[in-house]
Copies of this chain bind each other. A is one copy, B any other.
Amino acid sequence: MNRSVLFSGNTMLKKIIRRRLKQPGLPPGTMIYTGETVLEKVQLSKLEYDEDRLEFRDLGTIEQAFPFKELPTVTWLNISGLHETAMMEKIGEKRDIHPLILEDILNTDQRPKVEIYDNYIIIILKMLYHNTEKTEIESEQISIVLGENYVITFQEKAGDVLDPVRERIRNPKSLFRKKGADYLAYAIMDVIIDHYFVVLEALGEKIENLEQAVLGEPTQKLAKEIQFMKRELIYLRKSIWPLREVISELLRTESEFMAEDLAPFLKDVYDHTIQVVDTIETFRDMLSGTLDIYLSSVSNRMNEVMKILTIIATIFIPLTFIAGIYGMNFDFMPELHWKWGYPLIWLIMLGIFSGMILFFRRKKWL
């Protein structure tokens, strides 16, 4: 197994266990960012729109973000980069967000979850990318705060997954302009879950290739890659499985920020989530099948090796014994002095040889 795969294995292990919440004993609500800091500076952008107007601004400081416009304008505040906890505190204060929620947003090892409060709804999801360079799956946590006329999104990095949403908002005829903040929150979830299919497609291709390779020649390297893929799926499943509950809780919730006509859209997202989870399960089954093929190939190879050894040894060991007999130096060995002794011995050996060949034919080894 080459180092790069090992390396990515370790990275994933880290993804699973390292990002601990905080030092045990710190007060609850202590905000510590547990992800990597990839952006030098936190990026803030604010998008305000209603049916007629649209205003987009990159903000220098968090103070510029507030106050939000009144209804019916929808305000979308996007924060990329979570390492400035002071900024988080300010937002929490302005929008009256519980410190424990802020802690959850910063702790990027959360399970996907939704929490319904009186004045806002918090949705925490994973965004998944397929890093084509490192050939592994990367994830980023995105937290969506949905209030009466605003959506605040918290990303770890400045990604481009949400760009299509911005694009569609800019279109004055898009549904966004007629609907409220709830539709914006839905659209963000939708685009994230749609993105899962890209990751699944890449994984599926990998599994397909693995299977082709195993059908070709089963090497130890392949076995390790199958194991590695299995673990990627474990990680994927862990990230996506709770999503079912999240969406179905959203569906059940009767909140004043969620218009009734959002239900078909949420149901659609729910269907996609089920489809993603189903596909992951199918991939697990397929990988198990591939591992089974690998194992049966290995044992078949072994069997073949043993057969060849057995055929050669079983034919030649008795022949060598006969040759050994007439290599003995006894004074009185009459056969040695027969005129046709040597040809006779050859005949006998040929007989044994043919008999053995016939025996193996009958056993269907040849």
Within 8 A of B (CB), among A5-21: 6, 9-10, 13, 16-18, 20-21
Q: Could you mark each residue 275-310 of chain A with 1 if its beta carbon is under 8 Å from any beta carbon of chain B, else 0?
A: 100110010011001011111111111110111111
A170, CB-defined interface residue at 8 Å: no
Closest Cβ–Cβ distance, residue A288 to chain B (whole Å): 9
- The answer to whether A317 touches B313 (Cβ under 8 A) is yes
Q: So how many copies of this chain end up in the complex? A: 5
- The answer to whether B217 touches A164 (Cβ under 8 A) is no
Residues from chain B with a CB closer than 8 A to the CB of A264 are 98, 100-101
A231 to B200, CA, bound (A): 18
- The answer to whether A292 touches B227 (Cβ under 8 A) is yes
Closest Cβ–Cβ distance, residue A362 to chain B (whole Å): 12
Given A25-B164, A234-B282, A312 and B314 contact (CB-CB distance below 8 Å): yes
Interface residue count on the A side (C-beta < 8 Å): 122
8 Å CB contact of A293 from B100, B223, B234, B301: B223
Q: Could you mark each residue 10-52 of chain A with 1 if its beta carbon is under 8 Å from any beta carbon of chain B, else 0?
A: 1001001110111111111000000000000000000000000
* 10 nearest CB pairs, A to B: A25-B164, A323-B324, A24-B194, A17-B204, A326-B328, A327-B327, A309-B310, A330-B342, A223-B296, A312-B314
Interchain residue pairs with CB less than 8 A apart (24)? A1-B215, A17-B204, A18-B201, A20-B201, A21-B197, A21-B272, A25-B164, A25-B167, A25-B168, A25-B191, A27-B175, A100-B268, A223-B292, A227-B293, A303-B305, A306-B309, A308-B314, A312-B314, A313-B317, A316-B317, A326-B328, A326-B330, A328-B329, A331-B336
